[in-house]
Amino acid sequence: MKIRFIPLLIAILLIALLAYGLYSYCTGVGIPVISISSAGVGIPLLVLLGVKLEDARVKTNISLVSILFLVIELGVNLFFCNRSPFSMPPFVIANGVTILIYILLVYGISSSKKS
């Protein structure tokens, strides 16, 4: 596994743009929510764009899982932004659980042995 710096920089800039988009879309929600949202969306995007893997099967599976969790994180963030009585604990728990499941799946895929 190698880090690709230019795509990693592009991913960081995309995360900043997505965070600004969530900030402008979610009116009345504070800055901690935006930082949690951008971290949740950013982790799969960083892995998807910034990491180069040697094995084609592992790369395909991790890319698929990253895209799936990127969509899930965006959905969770937009769902919580549209709730009128916004509550921080369920938001943090939902984002934390999805990020941890994503990290666990990527770790499992990357550490699996070839059969």
Asked whether 78 and 40 are in contact (CB, 8 A), the reply is: no
Q: How confident is the model at residue 113 (pLDDT cuts 50, 70, 90)?
A: low
Q: Which of 13-17, 22-26, 59-63, 88-92 has the lowest mean pLDDT?
A: 22-26
Can you tell me the distance from the alpha carbon of 39 to that of 84, in angstroms, rounded to the nearest whole number?
Answer: 23
Quick one: average pLDDT of 97-115?
85
At 68, which amino acid appears? L
* Tens of pLDDT, residues 38-81: 777 777 878 877 788 888 888 889 889 988 988 888 888 878 77
Predicted confidence at residue 108, as pLDDT, reads 92
The pLDDT assigned to 105 comes to 93
Q: Which amino acid is at 11?
A: A
Q: What per-residue confidence (pLDDT) applies to 24? A: 75
Residue 115 has pLDDT above 60, yes or no: no
Q: In this predicted structure, what is the pLDDT of residue 12?
A: 83
Q: What is the DSSP string of 12-36?
A: HHHHHHHHHHHHHHSTT--HHHHHH
Q: Rounded to two decimals, what is the model's pTM? A: 0.77
**Do residues 3 and 19 make contact, with C-beta atoms less than 8 angstroms apart?**
no
52-80: burial string, b at 16+ Cβ within 10 Å, e else: ebeeeebbebbbebbeebbebbbebbeeb
